[in-house]
Amino acid sequence: MNALFQYISTVFKGVGTLLTGMKITGKYVFTPWNNVTQQYPENRDTLKMFDRFRGEVIMTHNENNEHLCTGCGICEINCPNGSIEIISKMELTEEGKKKRAIDQHIYHLGMCTLCNLCIKACPTGAIVMGQNFEHAVWDRSKLTKVLNQPGSKIAQGVKE
Amino acid sequence: MGFNIYDFSGMTHNMHLWFLERMSPTATTIVEWTIIGVSYMLFVALFGLFLVYAERKVCAAFQQRLGPMRVGYWGLLQTIADFIKLLMKELIMPKSADKFLYNLAPFIVMIATFLAMAVLPFAKGLQTLDFDIGIFYVTAVSSVGVIGILIAGWSSNNKYSLIGAMRSGAQILSYELSVSLSLVTIIILAGSMQLSVVVESQRDAWFIFKGHIPALIAFVIFLIAGTAETNRGPFDLAEAESELTAGFHTEYSGIKFAFFFLAEYINMFIVAAMATTVFLGGWMPLHFGSFESFNVVMDFIPPLVWFFMKVLGVIFLIMWFKWTFPRLRVDQILTLEWKYLLPINLINILLMSLVVLTKFHL
Amino acid sequence: MSETKEIIITSDKIHTDEYLVNMGPQHPSTHGVLRLLVRLEGEMVHNIQPHVGYIHSGIEKMCEAISYPQVIHLTDRMDYLSAHMNNEAVALCIENALQVEVPERVKYIRTIMDELSRLASHQLWWCVMGMDLGALTTFFYGLRDREHILDIFEETCGARMTLNYSVPGGVMFDIHPNFQKRVKEFIKEFRKKLPEYDQLLTGNVIFQERTNDIGYLSLEDAIAWGVTGPSGRGSGFSCDVRKHQPYSAYPLVQFEEKLATKGDTFTRYRLRMEEMYESLHIIEQLIDNIPEGDYAVKMKGVVKLPEGEFYQRVETARGEFGVYIVSDGKKNPYRVKFRSPGFSNLFALNKMAAGHKIADLVAIMSTLDLVIPDIDR
């Protein structure tokens, strides 16, 4: 008799736990306004990444097309993957002295692990992390970027 | 050709006469068979696609997602796009597969589902075959599908497929028993195995209400066993995605895979339709004893709508099971059947016999 | 497969009714590219032979060519679910070698981040565990709640998984002004959601049947195979590094090392669920008391470790993670070795799952919480 009682209680307890589970899923199926899906390409306008989001390395330019990069190459040394190549050139300053300046700041996005070490190491704050994350391109060569804009020069007063 | 949405028997009779006037009886039979066959195929294709879409949407709702949204309005054309994709896919056959059986298996599974659908009463007069052993026939032919699954698993010459097929064999053979016994419970109550009679005798009240607790227990057991028989979660051991990759249809691709896939959904429809017909009054509207005005309003809704509403309700319940519960292990699935469902079922039949003998249900 | 044939030929113990199945490298439940060579007799598993190395990326060798701060960012890629703990292990090792005392604020931030990572990792483990057992809905509920933690990470660290937040001497950035508010909101929300996890899966009779009394691992075996983390603690192996060798702010907080003795799959499952509550408890103690101060000490531009050998252990979500650095005084390490918990845990699988069914093998593997890059490195 005891065994029979146990058998029946097993059945009822089992069914009870199953119903508890169904209650949880049922709660969500009947409240579809709580859905968490984001419709990605449609919500591009409202989708805003966090300020610190690490999407790509960019070099900031002001309205006079001036940047802060001195071409010192510290970012290149700090990069673990060799994603940054600095090609510098010698320029004559107004006083007639020779001074190093950036010719091309080459950035290989395809190799970058977005570790933030270059930005942390940059002494002048010339490079920062951009929030763009849509990097898909049809051709791998497009992932190699020159960060300083053509014709740009270093802003006044920035020293190594 | 009088078209009556509440009773199709007049329409079918008139059609028959119309054909007989114009051609010989043999030709009439062939034409009628063709019409029926084509409409069944259309129904299977369209309703199967709809069920796949519904499953994806329902599953998404359970998981707080939206599901397919891109193809067509709210993703309505998604399954059609998938179907076209499957049609165009290459049919890959393993080199060491048994070619004849490998190609035969999807058709056996498909044929079994078509056979079972033949006796389902969709509405008054809308039933292809009205056997006097209708329920018996459904339980018999619905287990033909397992032969297809076994053949598929064996002939693909894949170890995962073989394990899946063997699991499925053990599972369906055992659960066949529970399905039949829970139906027997209702046969006792209805006094007939003819589906039209079963539906007709639920005019005043559905069997699930009429049969008191035994009918309710039988309904629950039928749902569990029926879910098991269609190889759906939590009894999807034959596929067991996380254990056997895809189980018995691992090696199938393209349209042959689609056959298995479609058959699974149509089997789910058959189980739901049987549950509807036998327990929930088939196409009969919902009636409450003395609420006359309520009953009149319910009568106004066409039987076809009633039938599909109930079927979709049961299908939703089956989906609810699938998207809530973990999968059982193979020995547990047999324990559940032989230790729990079968004894409860037998006692339930006794209870039902008592109810009928004491005329408690009237 | 030539390898398979070889085994059949060389072993004369194989019976004719046994057969070999390759579970993986592509299999839904091996969570990546793990390959298990499983000997089956019908449904019964007789022997499991894990084959690792399909995602070996040579991280240890790579470390020899790069400087110490750069080593940290590679550790993100090993156990990507415990990325911050891995980062912290290397940072602590370097700090100990240089005998740098980090500010209190850093310790607090690191500990909170540790526990958030542990929560995120356990959430993912929970949902994958459900999915392995066939309850697919759990997968989305777990990911839904994990998203909040990833948002917190993204706001403060700038990345969701590969955080690279610890640096030698502190952390990369100060915490975001919203950090405390968001963490508190998350805790409040998640304390409501955790009981739902239990109702949906833990209490479920099918789940109980599937996990109870399978995959036993005895205390002796756990110690012998080096099974650490919740998997080891399920067998009664007190191995929580947070308790035994406290680091960062762990000496300052009250928490319990959850231990159980039964050692079956359900025990390991339950311990991880309890650890989630513990993690919430630890965060609650710290979040309001983050001291003011610097978020990093000023380090030299080039970090050079003194000559010698250095070892640091931390407790990741999977178990004990060790960093062993041999330095010859240069700016690159001479040799780096990582002791990853997943590797040791995986090889106890044969002990636990042999004699069970295939379905049990999947369940047991889930409770070990394997991350394949962690095993292969």
Give the CATH number for residue C260: 1.10.645.10
- Minimal CA separation from C218 to chain A, in Å: 29
Q: How many domains, in total, are found in chain C?
A: 2
Residue with the two structure tokens 């050709």:
B1
A26 touches chain C (CB under 8 A): no
CB pairs under 8 A between B and C: 84
At a CB cut-off of 8 Å and minimum separation 6, what does B220 contact?
none
B62 with A22: Cβ contact below 8 A: no
Contacts of C151 in chain A (CB under 8 A): 50
Q: What are B316-334's pLDDT values in tens digits?
A: 988 888 888 888 888 888 8
Residue with the two structure tokens 């006692």:
B347
A50 with C74: Cβ contact below 8 A: no
Structure tokens at B63: 């998981």
Domain-located, residue B331: yes
Same domain, C25 and C112: no
A111 touches chain C (CB under 8 A): no
Nearest by CB to A17, which of C144, C157, C205?
C205
Domain-located, residue C76: no
Structure tokens at B187: 């046969």
CB atoms under 10 Å from CB of C181, counted, come to 11
Distance CA B205, CA B286 (A): 8
Domain-located, residue B194: yes
Render each residue's pLDDT in chain C as its tens digit; 377 residues: 444 444 444 455 555 577 888 887 888 777 778 888 888 887 888 888 888 888 888 888 988 988 888 888 888 888 888 889 999 899 999 988 888 888 888 888 889 998 999 999 999 999 888 888 888 888 888 888 898 899 899 888 888 888 888 888 888 888 888 888 889 899 998 998 888 888 888 888 888 888 888 888 888 988 998 888 888 888 888 888 888 888 888 888 888 888 888 888 889 898 888 888 989 989 888 888 888 888 888 887 788 888 889 998 898 888 889 999 998 888 888 999 998 888 888 888 888 888 888 888 888 888 888 888 888 88
Q: How many domains, in total, are found in chain B?
A: 1
Q: What are B255-305's pLDDT values in tens digits?
A: 888 888 888 888 888 889 888 888 887 777 777 767 777 777 777 778 788
Domain-located, residue C94: no
B243 with C21: Cβ contact below 8 A: no
Same domain, C237 and C348: yes
* Helices and strands in chain C: count of H runs, count of E runs: 16, 8
Q: Which ipTM score applies to this complex?
A: 0.84
Question: Contact B278/B129 with Cβ under 8 angstroms?
Answer: no
Structure tokens at A25: 């899923």
Q: Hey, is C327 helix, strand or coil? A: strand
* pLDDT at residue B218 is higher than 70: yes
Structure tokens at B304: 């076809």
Same domain, C47 and C105: no
Render each residue's pLDDT in chain A as its tens digit; 160 residues: 788 888 888 888 888 888 888 888 888 888 877 788 888 888 888 888 888 888 888 888 888 888 888 888 888 888 888 888 888 888 777 777 777 788 888 899 888 888 888 888 888 888 888 888 888 899 988 888 888 888 777 777 776 6
- Parent domain of B125: 93-357
* pLDDT in the model for residue C324: 92
Q: How many CA atoms lie within 13 A of C198 on its CB side?
A: 13
Mean per-residue pLDDT, B186-211 = 79
Which chain B residue shows the shortest CA-CA distance from A15? B220
Burial C104-139 (b: 16+ CB within 10 A, else e): bbbbbbbbbbbbbbbbbbbbbbbbbbbbbbbbbbbb
Task: B309-316: list long-range contacts, CB under 8 Å, 24+ apart.
Answer: B310/B276, B310/B280, B310/B281, B310/B282, B311/B269, B311/B272, B311/B273, B311/B276, B312/B54, B312/B272, B314/B223, B314/B271, B314/B272, B314/B275, B314/B276, B314/B280, B315/B51, B315/B54, B315/B268, B315/B269, B315/B272, B316/B58
Residue with the two structure tokens 């479609």:
B262
Single residue among C51, C72, C90 that ends a domain in this structure: C51
Q: How many CA atoms lie within 13 A of B52 on its CB side?
A: 21
Structure tokens at C336: 């780096």
Q: What are B331-347's pLDDT values in tens digits?
A: 888 888 888 888 888 98
Contacts of C215 in chain B (CB under 8 A): none
Chain B adjacent subunits, 3+ CB pairs under 8 A: A, C
A39 touches chain B (CB under 8 A): yes
Chain C adjacent subunits, 3+ CB pairs under 8 A: A, B
Distance CA B145, CA B139 (A): 11
Burial A103-114 (b: 16+ CB within 10 A, else e): eebbbbbeebbb
Contacts of B160 in chain C (CB under 8 A): 21
CB atoms under 10 Å from CB of C81, counted, come to 24
Beta strands in chain C (DSSP E): 19-23, 35-41, 44-51, 166-167, 170-171, 308-315, 320-327, 335-339
Question: Contact B326/C204 with Cβ under 8 angstroms?
Answer: yes
Nearest by CB to A21, which of B64, B69, B324?
B324
* pLDDT at residue B361 is higher than 70: no
Q: Hey, is B25 helix, strand or coil? A: helix
- Parent domain of C16: 2-51
C44 touches chain B (CB under 8 A): no
Nearest by CB to A36, which of B64, B320, B344?
B64
Nearest to C121 by CA among C339, C343, C371, C352: C371
B61 with A28: Cβ contact below 8 A: yes
Domain-located, residue C105: yes
Domain-located, residue C204: yes
Q: For residues B321, B326, B330 and B331, what is the CA-based torsion angle, rounded to 10 degrees?
A: -100
Which chain C residue shows the shortest CA-CA distance from B329? C359
B330 with C43: Cβ contact below 8 A: yes
C205 with A53: Cβ contact below 8 A: no
Instruction: For an interface test with B, give the residue of C26, C31, C38, C43 to mutate (most B CBs within 10 A).
Output: C43
Q: What are A89-130's pLDDT values in tens digits?
A: 887 777 777 777 888 888 998 888 888 888 888 888 888 888
Instruction: For an interface test with A, give the residue of C73, C80, C206 to mutate (most A CBs within 10 A).
Output: C73
Same domain, C212 and C356: yes
Distance CA B53, CA B70 (A): 13
Same domain, C116 and C183: yes
Distance CA C309, CA C328 (A): 9
Structure tokens at B201: 């005798």
CA of A58: how far to CAs of A67, A147, C154, in Å?
11, 6, 19
Distance CA B287, CA B291 (A): 8
Contacts of B236 in chain C (CB under 8 A): 134
C136 touches chain B (CB under 8 A): yes
* pLDDT in the model for residue C15: 53
B59 with C136: Cβ contact below 8 A: yes
A32 touches chain B (CB under 8 A): yes
* pLDDT in the model for residue B362: 63
Residue with the two structure tokens 């080096």:
C226
Residues 114-133 of A with CB under 8 A from C: 114-117, 120-121, 129
Helix axes B254-278, B303-322, angle to 10 degrees: 120
Domain-located, residue C165: yes
Structure tokens at C172: 């990369």
DSSP per-residue string spanning C253-300: S-------S--SHHHHHHHHHHHHHHHHHHHHHHHTTPPPS-SB----
Domain-located, residue B67: no
pLDDT-derived band at B3, boundaries 50, 70, 90: low
B163 with C358: Cβ contact below 8 A: yes
C359 with B245: Cβ contact below 8 A: no
Question: Contact A122/A33 with Cβ under 8 angstroms?
Answer: no
Same domain, C213 and C137: yes
Domain-located, residue C186: yes
Instruction: For an interface test with B, give the residue of C136, C140, C357, C370 to mutate (most B CBs within 10 A).
Output: C136
Domain-located, residue C267: yes
Nearest by CB to A129, which of C73, C137, C158?
C158
B64 with A21: Cβ contact below 8 A: no
Distance CA C280, CA C188 (A): 10
Distance CA C182, CA C175 (A): 11
- Minimal CA separation from A38 to chain B, in Å: 9
Contacts of B69 in chain A (CB under 8 A): 39
Helix (H) or strand (E) holding B118: none
C203 touches chain B (CB under 8 A): no
Distance CA C157, CA C138 (A): 28
